[in-house]
Amino acid sequence: MLVGIDLGTTNSAVALWKDGVPQLVPNALGRELTPSAVSLAKGGQSWVGEAAVDRMATHPADTVTSFKRMMGTASTVTLAGTTLTPEDLSAMVLRSLADDVEAATGERPTEAVITVPAYFNERQRRATRRAGEIAGLEVKRLINEPTAAALAFGLADKGDREPFLVFDLGGGTFDVSIVEMFDGIVEVRASAGDNRLGGDDFDAVLARMVEPQLLGHAALEGVSVTRRDALMKLAAERTRRALSTSEKAEFVLTIDGKSAGTMVTTEAFEEAAAGLVRKLRDPVIRALRDCHIDVKSLSDIVLVGGATRMPVVRKALTRMFGRFPNSTVHPDHAVALGAAIQAGLLSGGEGLEEIRITDVAPFTLGVNTATRDAHGVFHDDIFAPIIERNTPVPVSRMERFFTLGDNQRQVTFAIYQGEARDVKKNVKLGELTVPVPPRPAGEVQVDVRFTYDTSGLLDVDVAVPATGLTRNMVIVDEDDRRSQKDIAESRKRLEKLKVHPREEADNVAMLARAERAYEGFTGHVRDVIGHALTQFQGALETQDPRLIADARDALGQLLDEIDAQSPL
Ligand code: AMP
């Protein structure tokens, strides 16, 4: 039997193609969504889904969620003494979904269509396939989540070149994709997002909002901070869901039979969440900009992910797009239903073809830095991103750092992959030390350049301009047994990228042209050129090829217009 599976960061779901329609299969608790959570005990006992989430409050160290973010990396998690890879954890969720299908139909599924984010790279896709194999499922096809959502919303019946916007706000991630059908092939034209924005952040806002009313309450006395926070999080999620259908709801914490509560109104919550809602705009703009599609030509805006059920999010979208989004398919179910439609097509001998967007860096890469706060206290272990997640690869970026101590003799950079500000929460990839000349603090400059390509090879260069000293390190995936020759070839390819955009020929030429024009005019025209030049220089400093290309085009256009008005 072939099933369709949405293997999500927060929740997963499984669906079947039956009697010509996709149908979700409920789990043992009768629910269509199974939390992507795993908990283990010493004796080898394991819990998946809702039961694992429940265990989170009492055994946080033995329980894990959001492991999808680790897929394709060499990191592991140790729960109750057992070390597991992200594939193992995902496989446990997949196995539990397969159990549910077997319980519901009497037949054990052997094959699956599994969905993955559009931005997943080859390694992450391979890891997902491996998770399927570990769970005893032959992965017939991996399809992009936005493609699956589009299928569920009836994209296959739409005409060619009618782009959709898929707005997917889940528990911990936010993805915007522009999807289109072209010559019978589904194309994800662009995808953007924020992997640190989701329902969880709205929970945190709500918890912070009620905290002053609840702290001090007798029920909370003597309760450890970890336990209190875990309970607050659960209560916040419950309350937030209630606020999706009602104007007010009670935020209640129950601890050992005692409870503490306070009333929350939709209005107060929406006000507190305004900052998060504003963050939803940027990825939408970036995705549209990347594929040069304007809002008016979108044939539909479809909602995916549980957190799009919040009225505050829907209102913001209606304002943003000037029309109501399409929520005819249950946002939590769309991806799994789409996977089942693909399964249906495959079993009928067809199957939709899709192409993927260009590769992007799946995680942020950076180094640790230190800083002094306003009280002079030293904080180290702060993450300084160099290549941000979702940056199209191959890419090369340079950041400048300065010494922090007087007469410091060396600088050590630890290299991390991840999104947390505290580097200890990220994955350490390596460490590089360079000697520096002893000088007063802040006087020695050290440049760190990261160069990264689709194959996952990270080339790190550290340079001390004052002495001309350089150090280099190449980081390859632990599970990637590439030959030295392959590595050398990849590095040769990357070498070409190691130029600051300021020094690239196109940009140098444009800068020179704009500067000449600036010198040739006075008054208003000169101001306009000056302004555009500043914008372009700002874009160069971001080292983001897309922003640079946009700014260069804009400046070029302006200069062309000015030239066209020339009296000669
Ligand atoms: P997903 O990752 O797509 O499964 O989405 C999970 C997120 O959706 C969690 O943050 C849930 O709190 C949120 N969610 C689910 N149902 C609702 C609802 N009715 N109202 C508000 N948020 C919801």
pLDDT, tens only, 454-463? 666 889 999 9
- Residue 272 has a pLDDT of 97
Instruction: Give pLDDT, residue 371.
Output: 79
State pLDDT tens for residues 33-92: 999 999 999 988 999 999 999 998 788 899 999 999 899 888 899 999 999 999 999 999
Whether 359 shows a pLDDT value over 60: the answer reads no
Residue pLDDT, tens place only, 91-150: 999 999 999 999 999 999 999 999 998 777 667 888 999 999 999 999 999 998 998 998
Q: Among 14-28, 35-49, 216-230, name the one with the lowest average pLDDT.
A: 216-230
Q: 76 CB less than 6 Å from ligand 1?
A: no
Check: CB of residue 190 under 8 Å from CB of residue 290.
yes
Q: Is 3.90.640.10 the CATH classification of the domain at 199-275?
A: yes
68 C-beta closer than 6 A to ligand 1: no
Other Cβ atoms less than 10 A from the Cβ of 382: the count is: 14
> Is the predicted pLDDT of residue 549 greater than 80, yes or no?
yes
The b-or-e profile of 472-499 (16+ CB within 10 A means b, else e) is: eeebbbeeeeeeeeebeebeeebeebee
Assess whether pLDDT exceeds 60 at residue 284.
Answer: yes
pLDDT in tens, 291-313: 788 999 999 999 999 999 999 99
Angle between helices 545-564 and 281-290 in degrees, nearest 10: 60
User: Residue 522 pLDDT > 70, yes or no?
Assistant: yes
Q: Which of 88, 100, 168, 332 is catalytic?
A: 168
Mean pLDDT, residues 150-154 taken together: 90
Domain boundaries, the chain: 2-197+280-360, 199-275, 365-496, 502-564
- Other CB atoms closer than 10 Å to residue 247's CB: what's the count? 9
Question: What is the per-residue pLDDT for 357?
Answer: 45
Q: Is the CB of 171 under 6 A from ligand 1?
A: yes
502-564: CATH topology: Substrate Binding Domain Of Dnak; Chain:A; Domain 2 (1.20.1270)
Looking at residue 358, its pLDDT comes to 44
| Beta pairing class for 63-65 and 37-40 | antiparallel
CB 388 within 8 A of CB 364: yes
189 lines ligand 1 (CB under 6 A): no
* pTM for this prediction: 0.67
What number does the ligand 1 atom closest to the CA of 199 have? 10
Nearest CA to ligand 1 atom 3: 305
Q: What is the pLDDT of residues 318-348, one digit of tens each?
A: 999 999 999 899 999 999 999 999 999 888 8
Q: Which pair of tokens denotes residue 269?
A: 């919550």
Q: Is 2-197+280-360 CATH 3.30.70.270? A: no
In this prediction, residue 180 carries a pLDDT of 85
Query: What value does the mean pLDDT of the chain take?
Result: 89
Catalytic residue among 6, 100, 203, 300: 6
pLDDT level of residue 374 (50, 70, 90 thresholds): confident
* pLDDT, tens digit (0-9, with 9 covering 90-100), for 375-414: 878 788 899 999 987 676 778 999 999 998 899 999 999 9
Give the span between the Cα atoms of 517 and 95, in whole angstroms: 66
Dihedral of CA 393/398/403/409: which sign?
positive
Q: Domain 365-496's class?
A: mainly beta
